């Protein structure tokens, strides 16, 4: 079945409003002959003459009068759909945004973000979702609006990405730990007992590969899925946690941090979202809030 030409809806709306082929043609910037051809197509499509001669003018048929009541709202709605979005009114915006991120990000950057959102758009609610893996499915299916993380091989190439900040890994122990005193060498570092972080449960990572090149190996006694858990264990034991510095600032309060004794490249933490939300005014505004919350925290450090 051939789909109908929806352009005919606008043509019919104008024809019925003007009651004249000539005036309708002028309003639509068409020639009278082109408008006559359009009317012929409308008559063929609807199976009704629509406008018939009455003296020097045209009058609508009963079918045309019926259609006129229905077409006007349809054309108005279609015009509104195709019109650029109205200016965003943050004070009246009511919407819930889901952000997929880690506990450390929420604790470190959440207060600034929540304060800014609450001031600018009091009707907006933020829902923080734990990031249990690197899969891009939640962004693709719309169950989350945006997420933070390090772009890697598992990151879908279709996603939009914007860098937020650079971060480096550091060692963290409780205040009374032996590594609080003296230089932390690679040998002293591996002599301790470690808690390792891996969302996939892996027992080796870039740190272990670098240590392996030096003929050294960490004693990993426990593997956890997040930095917050690793720091909680280190705070209450002699375990050594290795975590990103800026990402976990709020979680490390009261603990001792030290630079790693091996060269581990810094990572870039980015904001990721699906392209279908790229032009959404409210989403664009929230992305700016996230960026500024991270920048504001950096200025305080």
**Domains of the chain (ranges, CATH numbers):** 7-82 (1.10.10.10), 90-167+268-300 (3.40.190.10), 169-265 (3.40.190.10)
Closest CA to 129 of 109, 106, 163, 162: 106
Q: In what order do the strands lie in the sheet with 146-150?
A: 124-130, 95-101, 146-150, 267-273, 160-167
pLDDT digit string, tens, across residues 115-138: 999 999 999 999 999 876 667 778
Task: Give the phi and the psi of residue 15 in degrees, each rounded to 5.
Answer: -60, -45
- Identify the pLDDT of residue 83: 65
pLDDT at 181 over 90: yes
Closest CA to 13 of 39, 49, 40: 39
- Identify the pLDDT of residue 86: 63
pLDDT at 156 over 90: no
- Identify the pLDDT of residue 80: 66
Confidence of residue 148 (pLDDT cuts 50, 70, 90): very high
The overall average pLDDT reported for the chain is: 88
Least confident of 40-54, 81-95, 98-112: 81-95
Q: Quick one: 2 exposed, middle or buried, by C-beta within 10 A (0-12, 13-18, 19+)?
A: exposed
- Identify the pLDDT of residue 84: 65
What are the residues facing 150 on neighbouring strands?
269
Neighbouring residues of 269: CB distance < 8 A, sequence distance ≥ 6: 105, 148, 149, 150, 163, 164, 165, 166, 167, 244, 246, 247
pLDDT at 209 over 80: yes
- Identify the pLDDT of residue 127: 96
- Identify the pLDDT of residue 191: 94
- Identify the pLDDT of residue 291: 95
Pull the structure tokens for residue 158.
């279709």
Neighbouring residues of 166: CB distance < 8 A, sequence distance ≥ 6: 266, 267, 268, 269
Percent of the chain residues past pLDDT 70, beyond the cut: 93
Confidence of residue 150 (pLDDT cuts 50, 70, 90): confident
Confidence of residue 211 (pLDDT cuts 50, 70, 90): very high
Q: Locate tokens 């002699």: which residue?
A: 238
Tell me what the mean pLDDT of segment 202-226 comes to. 91
Q: What 8-state DSSP symbol labels residue 192?
A: S
pLDDT digit string, tens, across residues 70-91: 887 777 777 766 666 668 899 9
- Identify the pLDDT of residue 288: 95
pLDDT at 2 over 70: no
Q: In what order do the strands lie in the sheet with 240-244?
A: 219-224, 193-197, 240-244, 169-173, 256-259
- Identify the pLDDT of residue 183: 94
Residue 55 and residue 70: Cα distance in Å, rounded? Answer: 27
Q: What 8-state DSSP symbol labels residue 143?
A: S
């Amino acid at each position: 079945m051939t789909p109908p030409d929806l352009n005919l809806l606008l043509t019919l709306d104008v024809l019925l409003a003007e009651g004249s082929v000539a005036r309708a043609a002028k309003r639509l910037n068409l020639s009278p002959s082109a408008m006559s051809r359009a009317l012929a197509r409308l008559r063929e499509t609807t199976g009704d003459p629509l406008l018939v001669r009455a003296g020097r003018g045209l009058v609508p048929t009963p079918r045309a009068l019926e259609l006129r009541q229905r077409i006007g709202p349809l054309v108005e709605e279609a015009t509104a759909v195709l019109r650029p979005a109205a200016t965003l009114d943050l004070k009246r915006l009511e919407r819930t945004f889901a952000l997929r991120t880690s506990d450390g990000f929420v604790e470190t950057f959440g207060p600034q973000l929540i304060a800014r959102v609450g001031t600018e758009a009091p009707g907006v609610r933020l829902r923080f979702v734990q990031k249990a893996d690197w899969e891009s499915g939640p962004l693709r299916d719309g169950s989350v609006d945006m997420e933070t993380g390090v772009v890697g091989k598992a990151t879908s190439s279709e996603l939009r990405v914007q860098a937020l900040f650079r971060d480096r890994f550091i060692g963290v122990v409780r205040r009374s730990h032996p590594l609080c005193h003296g230089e932390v060498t690679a040998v002293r570092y591996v002599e301790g007992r470690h808690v390792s972080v891996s969302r996939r449960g892996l027992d080796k990572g870039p740190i272990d590969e670098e240590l392996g090149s030096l003929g050294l190996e960490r004693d990993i006694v426990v593997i956890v899925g997040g930095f917050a858990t690793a720091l909680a264990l280190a705070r209450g034991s002699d375990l050594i946690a290795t975590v990103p510095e800026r990402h976990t600032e709020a979680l490390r309060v009261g603990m001792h941090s030290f630079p790693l004794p091996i060269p581990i490249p810094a990572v870039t933490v980015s904001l990721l979202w699906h392209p279908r939300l790229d032009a959404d005014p409210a989403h664009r505004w929230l992305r700016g809030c996230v960026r500024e919350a991270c920048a504001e925290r950096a200025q305080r450090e």
